[in-house]
Chains A and B, each alone.
Chain A
Amino acid sequence: MPTEKFYAVDRLDRRRAVLVGDSGDEVTVARTDLPAAVKEGTVLRVPLDREGDLDWPAARIDVEESESRRREAERLIRELRKRDPGGDLEL
């Protein structure tokens, strides 16, 4: 049984954060329950409590995982850009 899960901050407003788990599930959490430094793209390690529920106030930012995912995304974008024929297109 996992003891924690990864969630990435998808989007933020003043009061809420919407996070996406690695299984694609989406959760809305009050920003006050999250580390103050979260930004869009921040990856959190979220521990599970005894009932197996996500313990958001105990979540912590995983800087290394955040950067790793961002680098992987940038790599994928670079690869995909090689397919772009450039200029205007007629479909």
Chain B
Amino acid sequence: MLHLLVPLFLVVSYSGGAHEQNAREVAEIIFLDVGQGDAAIIRSPEGKVALVDAGRDPDILPLLRRHKVDSVDIAIASHPHADHIGGMERVIRSLPVRYYMDNGFPHTTATYTSLMRTLQASDVVYLEATARTISLGSVELAVLPPPARGGENLNNGSIGLVVRYGRFTALLTGDSEVEELNHFLSRGVPDVALLKAAHHGSRNAVSPAWLSATKPEVVVISCGRDNEYGYPHPGAMRYYDIVASAVYRTDLDGDVAVRIHSDGSYDVSVQLDRSSTGGWNDAH
């Protein structure tokens, strides 16, 4: 179909400009435009795939197919809110999935229970979110465990992930709010090239201390167009705009794809042209 062939456009290069490296030496992180929710693909140069969250729409498969994902080596649910796990059961049922990790915090929604029962009936290997390293080919995923059980806000039980490829580092922390960000800070976080804004760019999910420690060059915010929560919050945007050289938003940019070279340089491509009035620029 045509939309599978239309490339992302508007490529911006960081730290070194254009590259002639072999495609097999490029890793990718693709933040999918799933509306008001989170989903990201991490693909190693060897073709290994991690799916971090799966949006809230059960039918995430067309988005995965668009990025040529037909199997998942590890699916990671940052936390069990439906806007992060809504598409996960369909993925487990429809694609070969080898491993699944979640934060181990129980929930009571039908979305969660059905997913867990599907996992139980499958041969997917469940992983606890302990302080462990997952080698996704030559991409390293270092797990930042959430605080031990406690509190009533599942956002603050989000799994943190440090993604490393060569000299490039990214950090994803689901819907962590400041309480959990402070927990991560107390254990040490790296400075990063790319930071996924926690909790869709909520004001309660960023702080000067967090940005001072992580020092992101690029921030990606995953949120829905005209979402009812007003994400990203203007106060959070001010923080990100001050610190980062670029802030990408799935509500305005569509899918945001980061192609990473082992020397630490990377290119960012977006699906939509913000200056266009027509909205989608491909056959979405």
Contacts and interface: CB of A to CB of B under 8 A. Distances in A.
Interface in A49-91: 66, 69-70, 72-74, 76-77, 79-81, 83-91
Contact of A77 (B106, B108, B153, B229): B106
Contacts of A74: 106
A85 B125 contact: yes
B43 to A, nearest CB: 12
Contacts, number: 101
Contact of B81 (A10, A24, A76, A83): A10
Interface string B67-92: 00000011000000111000000000
Nearest to B79: A11
Interface in B133-154: 133-137, 152-154
Interface in B187-237: 228-229
Given A84-B127, A91-B98, A73 B106 contact: yes
Given A41-B107, A91-B74, A91-B99, A84 B128 contact: yes
Given A66-B108, A84-B127, A91 B120 contact: no
> Interface majority SS on B: helix, strand, loop or mixed?
mixed
How many residues of A sit at the interface, in one of the four size bands?
35 or more
Interface residues of B, number: 41
A79 B153 CA distance: 24
Interface of A: 8, 10-13, 16, 18, 20-24, 26, 28, 39-43, 66, 69-70, 72-74, 76-77, 79-81, 83-91
